[in-house]
Amino acid sequence: MSLKGKAAITGVGDTRYSRQSGKSVTTLQMEASLAAVRDAGLDPKDIDGIIAYGSMAVVAEDYITNFGIADLRFSAVTPLGGASAVSSIQCAAAAVAAGICNHVLIPISRNGSSGAGGRIGSRVREMPQFRLIGEFEMPLGAIAPAQLYAPMARRHMELYGTTSRQLAEIAVSTRHNAILNGNAMMTKPLSIEDHQASRMISDPLRLYDCSLESDGACAFIVSSMERAQDCAKPVIQVLGVAEGHPDSPSAITQRPDLTRLGLAKAAPKAFAMAGVTHDDIDVAEVYDCFTYIVLCQLEDLGFCKKGEGGAFVQSGAIRLGGKLPINTHGGLLSQAHMAGFNHVVELARQLRGEAGQAQVADARIGLVTGYGDMGDGSIAICARA
Amino acid sequence: MNAYDYGKPTPDPTADTQAYWDGMKQGKLLLQTCSDCGTIRHYPRPVCPACYSMEHRWTEAKGTGTVHSWTISHHAFHPGFKGELPYILVTVDLAEGVRMQAQLKGADASVLKVGLPVRIAFEAATKDLTLPVFVVA
């Protein structure tokens, strides 16, 4: 048995993304969750499973009180940071395939730009999976993700000749898509030269290699294939789904191959489960906390060989109209940092034909990835049924 | 806030790691070595990944290695590092086969390359806390 065809994404919703929401994370999350429920054509009480975003303030219990859910039958947390959204698809698909529940709501909200809760560095340190980083790297000055991930990018550059201008192509094409989206924080055109002139944060990562800090919320619903037929929108079937954890998952410094992420383990499993090839993928939403992480994932996904990601992106392949359009919503780099939950929302919209000006013509099969913590990876391959 | 506090992030050692920091204070780089199979591991952890033994001893490393990768920080993510910008962090393959990270001191970024030989040095941050740094060998 596999999870192929056992579950579907039936509802998606989001709030406005901004630097200052002026709302609580609970209010933001309920707003996005209700939008997802209505998008699916469901009643809030129909939700009988919740996967809460681990470190955030809103928990499954909040939905029992706000939605009046009489019999919540499944709750879980997938603690993979930015890979949580896509790993939650796997978790939810398993739950609905087993008959535990019918409709699993998977939401996130954050006041990541305006809110209290501390800067990224201090927040990271409090998470148990980063205990070793907190003890052995932060005291030396390696504190934020940009600093922890930069040695992976530098190693890739030294081994394969990858350049900053190639990373810039990812930032530029993503910004182009954000401008088309209508709900993106970054709306000013960006050029390769703008990227090259932006200040260095942690070499080789410049400002425009880094994602945003955002306020907002989004949510999606994973339903059993059987119950998906009751929903309002075209059924977006989950064909293949997997998660993978890198070697030395809690310390990049100790990882045997710095250029290989957990996604490299997950991707072949998801493609095999789905029974599709790379040429079948019409659109891909690829987790983009940093430009380099996109480039590395394109290799780990198998769209090009290890070391060839720079040439692949420079070819224009990832632009709208290219052979593999990616991050058609503007991603974490230019739409908003919703930890990749917005990537799932965008994939569903693309496969339904609801992606507006950034719609990929006749997109039928697509994939979404997550990347989290120090290299956890997840992937879902979906298709319009 | 802990015993080491001095306005920068500090380690918060556990029973599994205290010996490493005690070694630093004495100018020694100590690595966990499996008492049963001899495999050296870093960062410290309770179980040997080669034979699952929970017995270990601490052995002094040579303190030499080569650069595996690096980053140069131009932004202070903690106010304690503002005065040091830009600073170089190197990821080093130690002679013992494990890696460690530390700042590279006394060298310009232009010398950086994969394979650059380095050796460890020790810098007292406070009277109780000593941190490792690397210098070009």
Residues A202, A150: Cα–Cα separation, whole Å = 6
Amino acid at B112: L
Would you kindly state where each structural domain of chain A is located, as residue ranges? 7-116+211-384
**pLDDT above 90 covers what percent of chain A?**
91
Instruction: Tell me, yes or no, whether B8 lies in a domain.
Output: no
Task: Tell whether B131 lies on the interface with A, counting CB pairs under 8 A.
Answer: yes
Stretch B51-80: mean pLDDT: 97
Instruction: Tell me, yes or no, whether B126 lies in a domain.
Output: yes
Segment A206-265, tens digit of pLDDT: 999 999 999 999 999 999 999 999 999 999 999 999 999 999 999 999 999 999 999 999
Task: Tell whether B132 lies on the interface with A, counting CB pairs under 8 A.
Answer: yes
Stretch A149-165: mean pLDDT: 98
Could you tell me the pLDDT band of residue A116, with boundaries at 50, 70 and 90? low
pLDDT for A365 = 98
Closest CA to B61 of B119, B117, B104, B22: B119
Segment A70-89, tens digit of pLDDT: 999 999 999 899 999 999 99
pLDDT for A123 = 61
Q: Which domain holds residue B102?
A: 18-136
Q: Do A142 and B98 touch (CB under 8 A)?
A: no
| pLDDT exceeds 50 at position A203 | yes
* Test the A interface: residue of B14, B16, B43 with most A CBs within 10 Å: B43
Instruction: Tell me, yes or no, whether B125 lies in a domain.
Output: yes
- For A7-116+211-384, the fitting CATH number among 3.40.47.10, 1.10.10.10, 3.40.50.720, 3.40.30.10 is 3.40.47.10
Task: Tell whether B84 lies on the interface with A, counting CB pairs under 8 A.
Answer: yes
CB contacts, 8 Å: B113 with chain A? 158
- What is the three-class DSSP state of B84? helix
Q: Do A253 and B77 touch (CB under 8 A)?
A: no
Contact criterion met (CB below 8 Å) for A306 and A48? no
Q: Average per-residue pLDDT in chain B?
A: 96
Q: Do B81 and A125 touch (CB under 8 A)?
A: no
Q: Is A159 exposed, middle or buried (0-12, 13-18, 19+ CB in 10 A)?
A: middle
Task: Tell whether B11 lies on the interface with A, counting CB pairs under 8 A.
Answer: yes
Instruction: Tell me, yes or no, whether B5 lies in a domain.
Output: no
Instruction: Tell me, yes or no, whether B6 lies in a domain.
Output: no
What torsion do the CA atoms of A178, A184, A186, A188 make, to the nearest 10 degrees?
60
Segment A341-357, tens digit of pLDDT: 999 999 999 999 999 99
| pLDDT exceeds 70 at position A55 | no
| pLDDT exceeds 50 at position A117 | no
Task: Tell whether B18 lies on the interface with A, counting CB pairs under 8 A.
Answer: no
ipTM value, please give it: 0.97
Instruction: Tell me, yes or no, whether B2 lies in a domain.
Output: no
Q: How many CB atoms within 10 Å of residue A116?
A: 5
**pLDDT above 90 covers what percent of chain B?**
96
| pLDDT exceeds 50 at position A294 | yes
Contact criterion met (CB below 8 Å) for A346 and A353? no
* Peptide bond just before B43 cis, omega within 30 deg: yes
Q: Which residue among B17, B86, B100 places its CB closest to the CB of A253? A: B100
CA angle A189, A190, A192 (to 5 degrees): 150
CB contacts, 8 Å: B77 with chain A? 119-121, 143-144, 146-147
| pLDDT exceeds 60 at position B39 | yes
Query: Computed from CA positions of residues A247, A252, A254, A260, in that sequence, does the dihedral angle turn out positive or negative?
Result: positive
